[in-house]
Structure 1
Amino acid sequence: MADTTTPASPVYVIGAGPGGLAVAAELRARGVRAVVLEKSDAVAASWRRHYDRLHLHTTRRLSALPGLRMPRRFGRWVSRDDVVRYLEKYADVHELEIVTGVEVDRVERGPGGEGWVLYATGGRRLSTQAVVVATGFNHTPYVPAWPGAESYEGELLHAGQYRNPAPFAGRDVLVVGAGNTGAEIAADLAEGGAGRVRLAVRTPPHIVRRSTAGWPAQATGILVRRLPVRLVDAAASLTARLSVPDLSAHGLPRPAKGLYSRAREGAIPVQDVGLIEAVRGGRVEPVAAVESFDGAKVVLADGTRVSPEVVIAATGYRRGLEGLVGHLGVLDARGRPRVRGARTVPGVAGLYFTGFTNPISGMLRELRLDATRIARTLTP
């Protein structure tokens, strides 16, 4: 049942990324005061840290937030820098109330179990009836605890530290992880002059064309979301065989499990922005998954030992919500919110989450929908 009481205190939105900004804008448009709390010194902090070559894998038209279109001059596939410009403009156009330099450490129940109290930097204690957590999908870099990694003689960094291939010119680089980030960094390195690029793959990914004959993969993702998983898997398999070459001879076989089955487990398909040609041309070499480190060597799952100068771990992020709300029973076993959008966990009214899924229909599109639903719930 919707909460139709407008809070006397502002709704506090934690995080000034696209999800938090969208919710704040939708609330403001409905006459509800929203205050966005951002720990960094500007909006779109995580976007500013992404690698240089990044473009949205979703179309400009389907990636805009409520109340402001993305300019046509951004092109169909919007660059990282243009996403940042758009989010800055979005905050200005909607005259959002954003407080930077404030990190919320913990959310607690209010006195008598009513409302919420946010504990933030500077000894702040902020009371409210509603909180929206929008701290982001890519919050805390995750690097597996590989045996021997602490004494590795080469350079080990997380993909979040990668910006462009210039520092790696002529060097032997192993990229670990064949998701979208790992695949694109590997292709970027190969095109940017790295001496050798290997891509460590534990589970072969589904690779799709970003668009086929002008039809974006995102549009297909939107259309098939409600269809039976087996049907989508079968259709995706046929499409892949028609549009994506078999890379088995190059060490990257087709996945055994269906595309939509994998997507429902959280493994989003890799959109090809250069990986296929890099693998076919031998500029990116798929190898087995990393098992451990031994001095200057990296031991792979098939027993092979390689000696890269640099290892880039494209091994994902954690949501980092345990300290903030983990004690409230709102997270699942993987540390992700049990609900999203306008829904709340039973017995935990007034606590909302957005931006903690990565659907095949496009994250920014889902953030837009979540924002509207949350605002409606909090509007009389």
Structure 2
Amino acid sequence: MEKEIEVLVLIIGAGPAGLATSACLNRLNIPNIVVEREDCSASLWKRRSYDRLNLHLAKQFCQLPHMPFPPNTPTFVSKVGFISYLDGYATHFNISPRYNQSVKSAYFDGGQWTVEVENAETGSREVYSARFVVAATGENGHGVIPEIPGLVESFEGEYMHSSEYKNGEKFAGKNVLVVGSGNSGMEIAYDLSTWNAKVSIVVRSPVHVVTRGIVWIGMWLLKFFPVKLVDRWCVLLAELRFGSLSRYGLVRPKIGPFMNKIITGRSPTIDVGCVGEIKSGKIQVVPSIKRIEGKRVVFVDGRTRIVDSIVFATGYKSSISKWLQVDNGNLFSESGMPKSEFSDHWKGKNGLYSAGFGRQGLAGISRDAQNIARDIESLVCLRSMNKLSC
């Protein structure tokens, strides 16, 4: 038997975006419910991230609305520290997500959203009736492993997505291939190297490699100077720090790091030690994979390598399309990402919003949450005024 629940705002997802949106609504005394498919909040951080992960940006760029990090928090917050911050955030703003709630469908009809949810533990179903729905499942709904000839049919080793990787202890002495040169790929490759794995990393496209300090300087300069000028300074600093990396297989994009982020959504890779391992020859850079034969990996340039394990740091995709069967809010494209570019990505029609889909990291999540809460408050007040005038 289905249980029907009425709520003004339903927030789908209890990651940083969902928690931030709920906190902003709670401060305005706007009723809301947060549903989460996992059995905990921030499951990406708690269950699907590697041990050595730290926030790549300084803490002031990573805090959620209305609650800064404690003064004694390190500038670059550890995974454990950030999880503690998120748990404290939920407690401080009295957020109590409903866990194990998997959304099966959502549609708009007759001025209300109907959202069908299944309890993963009991199998029971609930139907939420909401005036507003906030999709806060984010850009990282499901890990992506590319289709490579021979991977599923013939690979004799172990392969996994980076969301399953914890540390390199079990890979010591083994030949490991990391696919992807973003922050996760480079950091996992470095971690594997510290555990004495024999590491190769697939670099498929140009990549900006910078330091945390360069990013911090760049973000500060962006307050005063145009993006293109800041990009030139940051590229110069990167060249002074690392020298030319093209001979090692790391080619810099023609577009600067911050402009590249705006256009493509791809962040620069912040080096945590991987570049030094590449320069020393301890980590080998290889091009894209052409096919896999047993444990033999054939690359597009004809080289081959025997590997025992493959870690795919190849990103994520949105899970929106799995439950938003018909986008009555006209907000999302078929890819599960907003149709509108930043900064118009957070609001659709009929009371549908998105939080955490702007490719702007935690700072973008904070802006989304505050924008959504203010917009809902204005609509609620407007509706109340209209009722009073009738």
* TM-score of the pair, normalised by structure 1: 0.89
Q: Give the aligned partner of residue 355 of structure 1.
A: 356
- TM-aligned CA deviation for residue 249 of structure 1: 2.8
Distance 1:197 1:62 in 2: 32
- TM-aligned CA deviation for residue 146 of structure 1: 0.5
The secondary structure found in structure 2 opposite 1:97 is coil
Q: Give the aligned partner of residue 145 of structure 2.
A: 143
Does the 8 Å contact 1:23/1:374 carry over to 2? yes
User: Which one is further off, 273-282 or 311-320?
Assistant: 273-282
Q: Give the aligned partner of residue 188 of structure 1.
A: 191
Q: Give the aligned partner of residue 83 of structure 1.
A: 82
Distance 1:23 1:365 in 2: 13
Q: Give the aligned partner of residue 368 of structure 1.
A: 366
Trace 1:60-71 onto structure 2 (pairs within 5 A): 60-71=59-70
Distance 1:317 1:226 in 2: 33
Q: Give the aligned partner of residue 257 of structure 2.
A: 259
Q: Give the aligned partner of residue 74 of structure 1.
A: 73
Code of the aligned partner of 2:73 = F
Q: Are positions 1:28 and 2:26 aligned together?
A: yes
Calculate the aligned-residue CA RMSD, in Å.
2.1
Trace 1:75-224 onto structure 2 (pairs within 5 A): 75-110=74-109, 112=110, 114-121=111-118, 122-150=124-152, 151-194=154-197, 196-212=198-214, 217-218=215-216, 220-221=218-219, 223-224=221-222
The secondary structure found in structure 2 opposite 1:130 is strand
Deviation per CA, 1:241-263: give whole Å up to 9, x if none.
Answer: 22332223323233344334432
Distance 1:109 1:219, change over 3 A: farther
Does the 8 Å contact 2:139/2:337 carry over to 1? no
Structure 2 unaligned regions, length at least 5: 1-5, 119-123, 382-390
Distance 1:330 1:262 in 2: 24
Q: Give the aligned partner of residue 121 of structure 2.
A: none
Deviation per CA, 1:277-335: give whole Å up to 9, x if none.
Answer: 11112121111111221122111111111111111111111112112225214323543
- The 4+ residue runs of structure 1 with deviation greater than 6 A are none
- TM-aligned CA deviation for residue 222 of structure 1: 6.2
Does the 8 Å contact 2:339/2:345 carry over to 1? no
- TM-aligned CA deviation for residue 46 of structure 1: 1.0
Code of the aligned partner of 2:316 = Y
Does the 8 Å contact 1:342/1:373 carry over to 2? no
The secondary structure found in structure 1 opposite 2:311 is strand
Distance 1:53 1:158 in 2: 16
Deviation per CA, 1:88-118: give whole Å up to 9, x if none.
Answer: 11111111132111111221012x3x12111
Distance 1:132 1:239, change over 3 A: same
Distance 1:60 1:168, change over 3 A: same
Question: 1:41 aligned to 39, 42, 47, which one?
Answer: 39
User: Which one is further off, 320-329 or 306-315?
Assistant: 320-329
Distance 1:223 1:175 in 2: 34
Q: Are positions 1:304 and 2:314 aligned together?
A: no
- TM-aligned CA deviation for residue 190 of structure 1: 0.8
Distance 1:342 1:205 in 2: 26
- TM-aligned CA deviation for residue 218 of structure 1: 4.2
Code of the aligned partner of 1:200 = V
Q: Give the aligned partner of residue 290 of structure 1.
A: 289
Does the 8 Å contact 1:34/1:97 carry over to 2? no
Distance 1:154 1:138, change over 3 A: same
Does the 8 Å contact 1:208/1:269 carry over to 2? yes
Code of the aligned partner of 2:333 = D
- TM-aligned CA deviation for residue 21 of structure 1: 0.4
Code of the aligned partner of 1:88 = D
Code of the aligned partner of 1:26 = C
- TM-aligned CA deviation for residue 357 of structure 1: 3.0
Does the 8 Å contact 1:341/1:354 carry over to 2? no
* TM-score of the pair, normalised by structure 2: 0.87
The secondary structure found in structure 2 opposite 1:74 is coil
Code of the aligned partner of 2:260 = R
Does the 8 Å contact 2:107/2:325 carry over to 1? no
How many percent of aligned residue pairs carry the same amino acid?
A: 34
Deviation per CA, 1:30-79: give whole Å up to 9, x if none.
Answer: 01011110111111111112100000011122211122221234311111
Distance 1:278 1:155, change over 3 A: same
Distance 1:205 1:140, change over 3 A: same
Does the 8 Å contact 1:342/1:377 carry over to 2? no
For these two proteins, the number of residue pairs brought into alignment is 361
- TM-aligned CA deviation for residue 83 of structure 1: 1.1
Distance 1:76 1:136, change over 3 A: same
